[in-house]
Amino acid sequence: MHSDPNMSAISIPDDDFLHRHSSVSPASPGFYDHSRMSGEGSPMMMSPWNQSSPFNKSQWSTASTNYEDNVPQNSLIGSLVREEGHIYSLAASGELLYTGSDSKNIRVWKNLKEFSAFKGRRRRSALWIKHSDAVSCLSLNKEQGLLYSASWDRTIKVWRISDSKCLESISAHDDAVNAVVASVDDLVFSGSADGTVKVWKREMLGKTTKHALAESLLKQECAVTSLAMNRACSVAYGGSSDGLVNFWERGKQFTHGGVLKGHKLAILCLASAGNLLFSGSADKTICVWRRDGTIHTCLSVLTGHTGPVKCLATEEDAESARKGEQRWIVYSGSLDKSVKQQQQQQVTYDADSVPSDGSFSSAGRNSQNRRY
């Protein structure tokens, strides 16, 4: 890994990629056509994840016989294979892994083997009640023992982890739900192809739940494709198919804080770590944003992927933490069939380079391009 200020983000031709997250809604908001999955205009057919990858074979796609003496610290330790559809969503808690796919199922895995609570079924996974369309996203609330699943069927389902029981089904949006985030308190955020970001308030009713719409943060023409919250749950982020990231700051209610402009194509994923926000895009780049109060600064633009950046994950670098520093390990997955790892340090910002409206474009003078 090294810094190369001469590298720049690689752009791809403008095409219909920005629009593939949005499907056409029927006139009636409550209408759901079960045959829409087989039509040309269905979310399944329109989704870029259902298409054959346009990118060349990756170095990770085949085994290499030229091994070096020094084995890298990161290596594959296991693989789960179940040929029932594309995997769109993952959530992990302790020894359990939850997967959502276009088979409309949610499966639970433990140590790559059968889930112990379902041993009597002689199966490697536990099958939960189906959505009526692809399961697009998952989010865990470990404190309450709840799993949230959202789907292209426009609903959010609430599951009790202990017994895999569906506690509630929320008719959340007028189009496919692309993102759901459960905060550590009683709020749940959802983003949809209908262009809205909604906040739901959870109430525990004995052993069940009830979610009510608290407020709508956004209503726009283009699809909302991704959501993220910072650890303190004080700032919410929403990425869209127009390449913009909106953010809201929490007081008694959420207020719109500004727009982050750093990408040329659709935002496909967001990840928050400390005061940093990472945004991955169809333009093959990752923007690294630092938040200081109400100001967001683009620290760097990470390049290196040759395909759209589909997913991001972060963890704190334990070694740097012991030294009193704060660095983050960033993992990025792309449609170029590769997963890349990058170390990112939080650095101070130059207030003179940031506009007063709280938004910032990655073209500013304190931006740098880093290849990894």
Confirm whether pTM is higher than 0.75.
Answer: no
Predicted pLDDT of residue 271: 95
Given CA atoms 269, 273, 274, 278 in this order, what sign does their dihedral have?
negative
pLDDT tens string 189-235? 999 999 999 999 999 888 889 999 999 999 999 999 999 999 889 99
Q: Burial level of 77, CB count in 10 A (0-12/13-18/19+)?
A: exposed
Q: What is the CATH number of domain 85-222?
A: 2.130.10.10
Domain ranges of the chain: 1-21+231-251+262-372, 85-222
pLDDT tens string 138-185? 999 989 999 999 999 999 999 998 888 889 999 999 999 999 999 988
Class of domain 1-21+231-251+262-372: mainly beta
Query: Which bin fits 122, alpha (ψ -120 to 50), beta or left (φ > 0)?
Result: left
Average pLDDT of the chain to the nearest whole number: 74
Predicted pLDDT of residue 108: 81
Strand order in the sheet with 360-361: 224-229, 235-240, 244-250, 254-261, 360-361
∠ CA 167-169-173 to the nearest 5 degrees? 150
Instruction: Of 351, 328, 353, give the one whose Cα is nearest residue 341.
Output: 328
* Percent of the chain surpassing pLDDT 70: 65
Using 50, 70 and 90 to split pLDDT, how confident is the model at 8? very low
Q: CATH topology of 1-21+231-251+262-372 equal to that of 85-222?
A: yes
Using 50, 70 and 90 to split pLDDT, how confident is the model at 107? confident
Using 50, 70 and 90 to split pLDDT, how confident is the model at 42? very low
Given CA atoms 337, 338, 339, 340 in this order, what sign does their dihedral have?
negative
* Percent of the chain surpassing pLDDT 90: 41
Using 50, 70 and 90 to split pLDDT, how confident is the model at 281? very high
φ and ψ at residue 320, rounded to 5 degrees: -70, -30
- As a three-state string, the secondary structure of the chain is CCCCCCCCCCCCCCCHHHHCCCCCCCCCCCCCCHHHHHCCCCHHHHCHHHCCCCCCCCCCCCCCCCCCCCCCCCCCCCCCCCCCCCEEEEEEECCEEEEEECCCCEEEEECCECCHHHHHHCCCCEECCCCCCCEEEEEEECCCCEEEEEECCCEEEEEECCCCEEEEEEECCCCCEEEEEECCCCEEEEEECCCEEEEEEEEEECCEEEEEEEEEEEECCCCEEEEEECCCCCEEEEEECCCEEEEEEECCCEEEEEEEECCCCCEEEEEEECCEEEEEECCCCEEEEEEECCEEEEEEEEECCCCCEEEEEEEECHHHHHCCCCEEEEEEEECCCCEEEEEEECCCCCHHHCCCCCCEECCCCCCCEEEC
